[in-house]
Every structure is written in structure tokens, then in C-alpha cells.
Amino acid sequence: MADFEIKDLRVGVEGREILKGVSLQVNRGEVHAVMGPNGSGKSTLSNALMGHPSYQVLGGEVLLNGQSLLELQPDQRARLGLYLAFQYPIVVPGVTMANFLRTALNAQRGYDGKDKAKAIGPKEFRELLAEPMNTLRIDKSFLSRYVNEGFSGGEKKRAEILQMAVLRPTMALLDETDSGLDIDSIKYVSESINSMRGGELGILIITHYTRILKFIQPDYVHVLVNGQVVRSGGSEVADQLENTGYSEWVDEPAAAAAVAEEV
Amino acid sequence: MTALVLSAADELAGLHDEPAWLRAKRRQAFAVYERLPLPQRTEEEWRRTSLKGLDLDAFQAFEAAGASAPATPIADTAGVLRQSGSEPGKVEIDPELSRAGVLFVPLSQAAREYPELVQKHLFQEVRPDRDKLAALHAALFSGGTFLYVPDGVSIAKPFVSQFWSSTGGALVLPHTLIIAGRGSSFNHVDEFLSPDLERPSLTSGSAEIFAGEASNVGYVALQRWGNHAWQFADERARLEKDSTVRMVHAGLGARFSKNRVEASLNGPGARAELKALYFGTGQQFFDFHTLQQHVVGHSTSDLLFKGALREQAQSVYAGLIRIEVGASGSDAYQANRNLLLSNQAKANSIPMLEIMNNDVRCTHGATVGPVDPEHLFYLESRGIPPMVAQRMVVHGFFGQVLERIPVQQARELVEQELEDRIGF
């Protein structure tokens, strides 16, 4: 059994079935990419895996290290090692990044406000942040800002990866992480992700475009069309998509050009 | 024991050893009180606010000092005034400041010793003839604070007045009069508090602020009356040229709380910041009516009122921006945000504009709704349990107002009070 298994997952939104039986297997150390055109169900996949309340699971199973996730709340899934880098990170007014990160780390460690020994200390907190903040070129002042408030597109995505580096998941879903990124940000973000790659971490990159895959080479590529995986293979699948786009499956004029968006 | 009769005004004046002119003022106000009916729901201002259950005959005119007041949690002050019930307050002030001409004394003492200063200002901005309850406040106010800071005097530490009620069944109507000299700068905190008591009380906590030219005044009202209180209060600032007034109202207590918060901008360069937060639980009811009155142009007002309501708590907010003829080049902002934390909680929000001029910038907005589930999902996706996530979002919601409370210890006090209420 793989470390992360999606078995015949079917998901609906507002009564309409979007994912029509998706199966994927990701082992620790591997990087997978799920590629698909608009409306193929990519966002539904990432949101349903994390447990967003607007998505109804209609059938199937998701296992992380043998543990079934679909009955669990989002926070429980996260504490088991699942991570979602949001396509559109949410602004949470009045909550500082520092408070947010510290609370998340404390939750991971089972600190509920009582046993101080479990809480992360200020020194350890600083040390945990130092390296990824450096790699991601994130300024210290960032910690006293409110979560994603007033962040540029690039800052938001870098912040998503910073959280990932700090929380150290075993399975990370990166939803359109390259969208809205300037060229500097995409370098910092991929550098940071590549430094985490391998070892205990499995990665699932969810993307429309091949651009990010030039920076983070996937081991496996899956094509999602109309709620189903229509092709799986090695990185050559992405190369092929760059030439042909999704035209093989959908009527999308200039699809090829769109897939190979300029870097 | 004295009911709400004319002789009560005399008794109070006697208790506070007030001069004849103030005694006469009380009597005048009492005549207005007797003449006016209770506000009716047919009046626009009271349309959503019910006085059902308010029985003025049930109140004694004043409250004897009962159990002693708790120490104010705000340490390191420029001066402290403590008043229990209707007894005259006691003051401590930094002697350096007294030498610099700062006056920080019980209101009645000021009326005796500085009549020219007090007479000119008292009840000029908070008008007794506005309605029956404002008249009652002026007729039977139970003392209060007078703070005068001379021209050019800057004070870093805050002044704190603490009004404490411990028996109930009576009127507890403190009044604050603040006069800021030209170019002066300081902060004042009014703390109104009592435990939850058996018998209902009628309370206020009204304040008049006269901000002289280029002065900078911070005013914080911490309303923490017990859940037996009917509270009616007027806070009003008058701003001269280039002055800045920052008012923050924290509405935490009382069963029923009706507050008018107003600023009139009377000189170019004047800037009024009106901020409030309120958190209702149980059966609490809050009513805020605000006014940003731009009498003169090139003045700025910035209002933000934020409230959260749990259980069956309700709130009404109605805010008016009025730009008078000739007040061109004014900027006015107004926002009221309400967070409903239960299905039964209700918030009404009515922003209004009256603009007699074209060359102005005004924005206003109101929102009422539950905690945004996307906010919760985002926090929970990082492993934060739902209860903790909810606390963070609610606490964060108040952040914009909290950070504007000019006195750090007052800010911490309010944060703690909020934490206790958020505690799901």
C-alpha cells in the first residue's frame, strides 16, 4: 500500500458530481503532478482532500499512512501530516502571521493551553523560521503582519510554502502554487520546495501549466480531465502536454500555448 | 432614600457641596426631565430600541458608597479619580502636573473653585434638553471628573477615573468634562464598573471633550456595568482647528446600553477618530447612535464600530455623517461591522449621509454576518482546532479597534474581557 492513497474518490459540489472516481498513489519521497484544464476538478480535488465543508464526498477512500482521512475534520487531517498550499490564500484580519504559525505548531504538538512544556518556546520558534524565511526571502517584519492581508500575489504564495516548511507535513498538496508568481518568487518557492523534497515528504502538485514543473521536476504526471485521471506516466507526459495542450480531451483552442505559458 | 423628585437635585448638590449656579442648573434640567415624556418608538432614533421594563420610579436618586471599589488595573498614571456610588470622588495626581497648572478634580470641586471655566463648558455639548434621559442625567448626575490641561502641556501617562457601583437600585450618573488647552496632549480613561446586582440601576457615563487648537486628546470609555444596568450615555467631542481627538468606547457591560457618540469638527485640520467595540452575550442589548458633524471643511473623521453578539444579544447601530454647507474638502469615513456568533443574535446597522456639499470624500459601510467559514477552514487546515480557530478569528476581528486604544493597560484589560466572552 502506498503512503498516500486516493481510491476511486467521487466528490460533488452543490449536488453536481465533479470528481468521478479518481485514484492516485503517492509514496514518501515522490513528487507527483496532477495537470488538467479549467473545470477538470483540480480545485475540487485539493479542497476535498483537505476537508473543505462545501465539498461533499460521494464515495471512495483516502488513506494517509494507512489512516482513513475522509471522516476526519480538516484540523485532524493536518495534524496527521496533510498540508494544502492554497491556490488563493485567505486573508484573516487581525491575526498576525507569528500568532498563526505559533498556534499551528502548538496544535501539532498537542498544546492546549495547559501543559506549558508542550508549547513551542520563543527561541525554538525563531530557529524553526530562520532558514525557510531566508530561502524564501521573507523579511522579519512579515511575522507581525496580519495573515495574508495586503500581501502581494508572490508574498502570499511564499507564505504558504513558509508554513509548509515550518509544519513539516508528510503529504503536501500544492494547489496552483505558481499562479500569480513573479519570476523571483517562483525561484525562491521552488528552491524551498526542492530543499524539502525527498525523505519523508510526498508532494502532489496540482497545476494547469507546465511552468512550475520546470523548477520542480515531477517523478510522475497525471492528467485530470472531466473529473477522471485520463493518463498517468513519467515527466514525459508534461512535455507532451506542453506541445499538444489538453486538445486531445477537450475542445480548447490554443490549448498548447496556454499550457506552456511563458516563464 | 429619595425618589426622582426635585429635592433630590438639591440633596445631590448638597452632598457635593456645589455652588448655587450649578444647583440652579440641576433644577432647570429637572424641569426639562419632568416636562418630557419617555422617548417613543415612533421617534426615528428609538424605532429599534425598546424601553420596555424601564421603570424610573423604581430607582433611588443616589447610591450610598457601599463596598469599596476594586483598584483600577491601570497603574502608572498621571492621576486617578475614584468614585463609589454617588459619593464625591477622591483624587490623586502627580504634584508636578498640578504645578504645571493641570486641574484634575471631582467635577463639583471644579464647579466651586473654577466656576468661570466649568460654567462655560458644562452641558454645552451634552445637552440636557435632548431627551428625558439626558435631562435626568443633567439634573441628577452623581459627580464625575473635571480635567483641564493648559496650553502646550504634554502628558505621556494617562489620567484614569473609576466609577464604581455596588448596591444597585439607584441612579449612578457620572459626568466627565475635559478641556484641552492649545497644543496640549494627553489621554484619559473612564472606567465604569459594577458587579452584577439584584436590583436594576440606571447608569450613564457621559463625557464632554473640548479639544483646543492643535491639541491631541485620547479618550477611552470602558463600560463594564453589571448586567442589572440600564445605561444611557452621551459622549461628545468638540474639535477646534488642527486638533485630534481619538475616542474609543468599549461596550462590555450593562443589560441595556444606549450610547450616542458624537464629534463636531469646528476648525480646518481637525481630525476625529471614533472607534468602538462591543460584545454582547445573553440578553444584552446595545444601541449606538453616532454623529460625525463637519461644520468646517478640510476636516477628517474616521469611525469604526465593531461588535460581536452571542446567544440572544442584540445591537442597533445608526450613524450619520453630516457635512455642513461650506465644509468642503472634508473626509469622512464610517464603518460598522457585526459578527453574529449565534443564530438568535441580531444586529441592525443603518449608515446615513447628509452632505450639503460636493467637494468631499465620504465612504460608509455596514456588514452583519457570521464568522466567515473560509477563515475557519484556512486556520483549521493548519491543524488548529475549530474552537481555537474561532477564537482567533473573533479576536482578530476586534484587532483594528483594539490597536487604536491609546493606553496599553486599557487595551490589555479589554483584550482580557474579550477573551472571557469569546471563551466558547
- A94-109 pLDDT, tens digit each: 999 999 999 999 999 9
Nearest to B157 by CA among B417, B397, B406: B406
Structural domain includes residue B256: yes
Residue B30 contacts residue B140 (beta carbons within 8 Å): yes
CA pair distance B203, B180, nearest whole angstrom? 26
- The gap between the terminal CA atoms of chain B, to the nearest Å, is 42
Structural domain includes residue B272: no
Nearest to A21 by CA among A250, A233, A229, A231: A229
CA pair distance B410, B403, nearest whole angstrom? 11
Among B233, B266, B299, identify where a domain stops.
Answer: B266
Between chains, do A94 and B400 touch, taking CB under 8 Å as contact?
Answer: yes
Helical ranges in chain A per DSSP H? 42-50, 74-79, 97-108, 122-135, 153-167, 183-196, 211-215, 236-244, 255-259
What residues have CB less than 8 Å from B386, skipping those under 6 apart?
A73, A75, B376, B380
Residue B138 contacts residue B167 (beta carbons within 8 Å): no
- The confidence score (pLDDT) of residue A252 equals 60
Q: Output the CA–CA distances (angstroms, integers) from residue A84 to A68, A92, A193, B18, B60, in the order listed.
A: 17, 17, 13, 69, 63
Residue A115, exposed/middle/buried by CB under 10 A (0-12, 13-18, 19+)?
exposed
Please state the rounded mean pLDDT for residues B412-421. 91
In this structure, are B26 and B156 located in the same domain?
yes
Domains of chain A, by residue range, sit at: 4-259
Among B244, B266, B288, identify where a domain stops.
Answer: B266
Q: Give the residue from A77, A90, A105 with the most B CB atoms within 10 Å of its CB, the best one to mutate.
A: A90
Does this complex have an ipTM over 0.85?
A: yes
> What type of residue is A43?
S
In this structure, are B118 and B250 located in the same domain?
yes
Q: Mean pLDDT score of chain B, rounded to an integer?
A: 95
Structural domain includes residue B306: no
Q: Scanning every residue of chain A, which has its alpha carbon at the shortest distance from the alpha carbon of B402?
A: A94
- The confidence score (pLDDT) of residue B103 equals 98
Beta carbons within 10 angstroms of residue A56's beta carbon: 15
- The confidence score (pLDDT) of residue A112 equals 77
Considering CB atoms only, which of A78, A93, A146 is closest to B382?
Answer: A78
Q: Based on C-alpha coordinates, what's the Rg of chain A?
A: 18
In this structure, are B260 and B384 located in the same domain?
no
Please enumerate residues of A whose Cβ is less than 8 A from a Cβ of B: 50-53, 73-75, 78-79, 83-84, 86, 89-90, 92-95, 99-100, 103-104, 107-108, 146-147, 163, 167
Please state the rounded mean pLDDT for residues B321-337. 94
Q: Residues of B with CB below 8 A from A108's CB?
A: 383
In this structure, are B379 and B253 located in the same domain?
no
Q: Which domain holds residue B11?
A: 6-266
What residues have CB less than 8 Å from B150, skipping those under 6 apart?
B100, B101, B102, B181, B184
Structural domain includes residue B194: yes
CB pairs under 8 A between A and B: 80
Between chains, do B384 and A50 touch, taking CB under 8 Å as contact?
Answer: no
Q: What is the pLDDT confidence band of residue A263, given thresholds at 50, 70 and 90?
A: very low
Quote the percentage of chain B above a pLDDT of 90.
Answer: 91
- The confidence score (pLDDT) of residue A215 equals 94
Smallest CA–CA distance, residue A103 to chain B, in Å, is: 7
| pLDDT over 90 at B424, yes or no | no
Q: Per CATH, the architecture of A4-259 is what?
A: 3-Layer(aba) Sandwich (3.40)
What does pTM read for this prediction? 0.89
DSSP B371-386: --HHHHHHHHTTT--H
Structural domain includes residue B111: yes
Domain count, chain B: 2
Among B240, B266, B292, identify where a domain stops.
Answer: B266
- The confidence score (pLDDT) of residue A156 equals 94
C-alpha cell at position A106: 502548538
Structural domain includes residue B235: yes
Smallest CA–CA distance, residue B375 to chain A, in Å, is: 6
Helical ranges in B16-123 per DSSP H? 20-35, 95-99, 107-113, 115-121
The C-alpha angle with vertex B359 and arms to B354 and B363, in degrees rounded to 5, equals 55
> What type of residue is B105?
V
Please state the rounded mean pLDDT for residues A183-190. 91
- B364-384 pLDDT, tens digit each: 999 999 999 999 999 999 999
C-alpha cell at position B231: 445605561
Q: What is the pLDDT confidence band of residue A262, given thresholds at 50, 70 and 90?
A: very low
- A204-245 pLDDT, tens digit each: 999 998 899 999 999 999 999 999 999 999 999 999 988 888
What is the DSSP code (8-state) at residue B69?
P
Structural domain includes residue B325: no
Q: Is A263 helix (H, G, I), strand (E, B) or coil?
A: coil
- The confidence score (pLDDT) of residue B1 equals 64
| pLDDT over 90 at A247, yes or no | no
| pLDDT over 70 at B404, yes or no | yes
